[in-house]
Each structure stands twice: as structure tokens, then as C-alpha cells.
């Protein structure tokens, strides 16, 4: 049984709500578009620092974007 603790996110929905493209969000945060794609698809788990920068960029609390 896979009992790994995986940090999921609602980045894609929230980004769509705000009307931002992946490239625009990437530009705001200063990361590559691939990084945003990887976070959205769950291929890459951001560090706390990047997660909080994303929260600042999207004007959301951490728990509104990220969850277990």
C-alpha cells in the first residue's frame, strides 16, 4: 500500500479563477513555465518558500492552495 504523504494543490483551478496563464504566473513568481506545470500536475513538490511565494502571487492562504 502506498502510504506516502503527498502534498496536493489547487493551483490550476485558482490560477484559472484569477485568469492567469501558466506563463503569466511563472513570470510573476520568477520561475519557468515548466515548473508551474510540474507543480500543477503533481510531478514536482515545491519547497515551503516557493509555495508561499505562489500564495502571495495568487493572494491566497497556504491551506487554500495546498492540502494533503
Partner 1 sequence: MKDKSASMEQAAENAVAKTGENPAENAMDGAEDGSMLSRDEILARAQRENQNGDERQRSQMQWANYAGFIAMEFACIVIMFTQIFTGNEFTPEFFCIMFTGVAAQNIVQACVNKNRKTRTLFIVCAALITAGAVAYWVFWILGLCGIQL
Give the interface segment with partner 1, choosing from 1-9, 13-21, 50-58 (CB under 8 A): 50-58
Residue matched to cell numbers 502510504:
3
Among 32, 41, 42, 64, binds partner 1 (CB under 8 A): 32
Question: Shortest CA distance to 59 belongs to which of 14, 2, 4?
Answer: 14
Q: How far is CA 16 from CA 11, 47, 48, 50, in A?
A: 8, 22, 22, 19
Q: Is residue 20 a contact residue for partner 1 (CB under 8 A)? A: no
Q: How far is the CB of 52 from partner 1 (least distance, A)?
A: 8
Give residues in contact with partner 1 (CB under 8 A): 27-32, 34-35, 38, 44, 46-47, 49-50, 53, 56-57, 59
Amino acid at each position: 500500500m502506498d502510504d506516502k504523504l503527498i502534498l496536493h494543490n489547487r493551483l490550476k483551478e485558482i490560477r484559472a479563477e484569477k485568469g492567469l496563464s501558466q506563463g503569466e504566473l511563472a513570470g510573476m513568481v520568477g520561475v519557468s513555465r515548466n515548473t508551474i506545470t510540474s507543480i500543477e500536475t503533481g510531478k514536482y513538490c515545491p519547497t515551503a518558500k516557493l509555495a508561499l511565494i505562489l500564495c502571495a502571487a495568487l493572494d491566497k492562504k497556504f491551506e487554500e492552495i495546498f492540502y494533503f
